Structure 1
Amino acid sequence: MSRIRKPFEIASVAAQRFVAHDGWAIASHIALSTLTALFPFLILLAALAGVFGTKSLADEAGVLIFDAWPREVAKPIVAEMHRVLTEQRGGVLTVGAVLALYFSSSGVESLRVGLNRAYGLREARPWWLTRLESIAYVVCGAFAMLAFALLVVLGPLIWRKVINVAPGLEPLSLTVAIGRIGITAFLLLAVLVIAHKFVATGRRSVWAVVPGIAVTLLLWFLAGLGFGYYLDRFSNAYASTYGGLATAMVFLVFLYWLAAMFLFGGEINGTVIAARRVRLQARMQQKQARARGL
């Protein structure tokens, strides 16, 4: 019975910590920062892809980002994203690209603020150093997205040639298509591990951040199903309330809930780590007391 009760106790404490750390306010900050950073990041992605002469990769990488999102949320954003990525722009070293890089890093900074609070830590490094680190994460993320997109673009071409040589493998086409979803899931997992392990100040082992990541992925999956179901039946409510801004508001609300769940996952980890620290201190005190008794 104690094993069943323990996860609920951790979730309850994490929820209290979430409220005490202004989780809802930080979630809105993350959502707005992500919204303002998304298209600058895509512009940077297009500029980098253009340097390597493969501009279509940027479009494919952008689609990868939204593959795991509910169709009702992702469809209008993907349409705008395609328009942004197909516009002609200068090279990667233009002023616009530099500004895009800077504003994209704001999304990472907002995650840092939320995770530092969740783990009960204070950032001691100077602001310019953390900003440079955030910019490095953005650049590495852009290259990673292009690399994954290259695999996705070449994958169907290679598979078609394989089927031409061995037609008996055609029934496995569904498995290959599922591989695209697997790539998206791997991207999500990698981003969460990097965020919890490296973006927040201090250092934690991978095992220390697994509980919060698992909770975040579960909540995101349920949120995707629930939000998609809600929009499928009540999308007119947003259109009648916000008019032409309905798409932006739906996107912002969805980001808000994703950010809140992400922070809650951080609070889960913070709660577990704090509990382990308390247990370790209690054991050390017991050992010291026994040593004094001897």
Structure 2
Amino acid sequence: MKKKNKTRSVTGLLFGFMERVSGDHVGAYATQAAYFLIMSFIPCILFLTTLVRYTPLTYNVVRDAIVAFIPENLQSFVLGIVVDVYKRSTAIVPLSAIVALWSAGKGMQSIINGLNTIYHVKETRNWLLTRIYAVFYTLSLVIAVIVSLLMLVLGNEIQKVVSRYIPFLGRVLGKILGARALLVFGVLFLVFLMLYKVLPNRKATFKSQIPGALIIAVAWSIFSYGFSFYFEIFPGFSNMYGNLATIIMVMVWLYICMNLLLYGAEINAYFEKEFRIAHKSVQELLAHEKEKKQQENE
């Protein structure tokens, strides 16, 4: 009987979660964010690639980063843009930067509005200040991408220095740098954690945002792999839509990814009480075990 009640409780939580997702209009905010981010997609790639030319990064490093972060069926489209930028002059930088920042800023603003709705808070911050924050967070993500690429370049040098003084740590670092999937997952987790913490108009701890960021980082990685695998196994989609297939795939991929991003916030908001109870139970259990061991030692 207890097991049945527990099952009902879990089922009720899941149905309640889906009802809240629908009530918070997650799909609508995901659509807005995806639309503006798609508008910023090409100018952002142009801008980033042009900036990268002033760093020690080579085309091969940029290509490897694209292969790591973007589904396989979209890679040829993005790589074509990158190759074109490497052949052209830097005159496109100002226009690309303006278009990319405006579009991405609007997309980030849609995400902020969605997160505020999910956490049931009103936006009381100044409108202009909020837009500046949106552009700032967009720039922060751009810088994070460049820093990540630099780490890929300098990673081996760092590993050599660490190995010279701490051989064991150097070997561990070498394995981590060699695990591309782990690095991508780590970057996704940190990005989601930061977004959930700083974007909504509410105060929250990083610890409270970990569950949603962790779950969605896993879901994002699995979805991107499955998305690429599906179009590799079933090429009929590309044959049907021809050159438009890549654009459609970008739209579908980004739309679902924006949904996943907002679902992570819903997980944190809806299951916040359950996570807090579970955390308290674990702490009490650990304290009980520690006390029990102390009594046994005495």
TM-score band, normalised by shorter chain: 0.7 to 0.9
The one-letter amino acid of 2:249's match is: V
- Alpha-carbon separation, structure 1, partners of 2:160 and 2:209: 40
Preserved CA contact (<8 Å) 1:61 1:146: no
Preserved CA contact (<8 Å) 1:58 1:85: no
Q: Which residue of 1 aligns with 2:236?
A: 236
Report percent identity of matched pairs.
Answer: 23
Q: 1:115 to 1:124 in 2, by over 3 A?
A: same
- Alpha-carbon separation, structure 2, partners of 1:121 and 1:274: 17
Q: Which residue of 1 aligns with 2:279?
A: none
Deviation at 1:249, TM superposition (A): 0.3
Q: Which residue of 2 aligns with 1:19?
A: 22
- Alpha-carbon separation, structure 2, partners of 1:59 and 1:66: 10
- Alpha-carbon separation, structure 2, partners of 1:160 and 1:81: 34
Preserved CA contact (<8 Å) 1:105 1:138: yes
Q: Which residue of 1 aligns with 2:65?
A: 64
Which stretch shows the higher mean deviation, 63-72 or 218-227?
63-72
Q: Which residue of 1 aligns with 2:31?
A: 28
Deviation at 1:151, TM superposition (A): 1.6
Q: Which residue of 2 aligns with 1:264?
A: 263
Task: Give CA deviations for 1:176-195 in whole Å, capped at 9, x if unaligned.
Answer: 65344333222211210111
Residue 268 of structure 1 aligns to a residue whose secondary structure is: helix
- Alpha-carbon separation, structure 2, partners of 1:96 and 1:68: 22
Task: Give CA deviations for 1:188-224 in whole Å, capped at 9, x if unaligned.
Answer: 1121011111111112111221222233123223323
Preserved CA contact (<8 Å) 1:23 1:260: yes
The one-letter amino acid of 2:234's match is: F
Deviation at 1:250, TM superposition (A): 1.0
Q: Which residue of 2 aligns with 1:121?
A: 121
Preserved CA contact (<8 Å) 1:114 1:263: yes
Preserved CA contact (<8 Å) 1:45 1:58: no
Deviation at 1:159, TM superposition (A): 6.8
Task: Give CA deviations for 1:246-266 in whole Å, capped at 9, x if unaligned.
Answer: 011011111111111222221
The one-letter amino acid of 2:252's match is: V
- Alpha-carbon separation, structure 2, partners of 1:162 and 1:265: 36
- Find out whether 1:82 has 2:82 as its counterpart: yes
Preserved CA contact (<8 Å) 1:68 1:181: no
Preserved CA contact (<8 Å) 2:46 2:81: no
Superposition TM-score, scaled by structure 1 size = 0.75
How many residues are treated as equivalent by the alignment?
A: 265
Task: Give CA deviations for 1:143-173 in whole Å, capped at 9, x if unaligned.
Answer: 222222112123356779999xxxxxxx999
The one-letter amino acid of 2:268's match is: N
Query: 1:187-266 maps to which residues of 2 (within 5 A)?
Result: 187-240=187-240, 242-266=241-265
Superposition TM-score, scaled by structure 2 size = 0.74
The one-letter amino acid of 1:213's match is: A
Q: Which residue of 1 aligns with 2:102?
A: 102
Deviation at 1:133, TM superposition (A): 0.5
- Alpha-carbon separation, structure 1, partners of 2:36 and 2:43: 11
Q: 1:24 to 1:186 in 2, by over 3 A?
A: same
- Alpha-carbon separation, structure 1, partners of 2:203 and 2:265: 14
Deviation at 1:84, TM superposition (A): 5.0
Q: Which residue of 2 aligns with 1:280?
A: none
- Alpha-carbon separation, structure 2, partners of 1:275 and 1:159: 41
Q: Which residue of 1 aligns with 2:285?
A: none
Preserved CA contact (<8 Å) 1:238 1:246: yes
Q: 1:71 to 1:18 in 2, by over 3 A?
A: same
Preserved CA contact (<8 Å) 1:111 1:195: no
Q: 1:35 to 1:174 in 2, by over 3 A?
A: same
Preserved CA contact (<8 Å) 1:37 1:106: no
Deviation at 1:132, TM superposition (A): 0.3
Quick one: higher RCO (CA 8 Å, sep 6+), 1 or 2?
A: 1
The one-letter amino acid of 2:90's match is: R
Preserved CA contact (<8 Å) 1:193 1:209: yes
Q: 1:141 to 1:247 in 2, by over 3 A?
A: same
Deviation at 1:245, TM superposition (A): 0.5
Preserved CA contact (<8 Å) 1:30 1:110: yes
The one-letter amino acid of 1:271's match is: Y
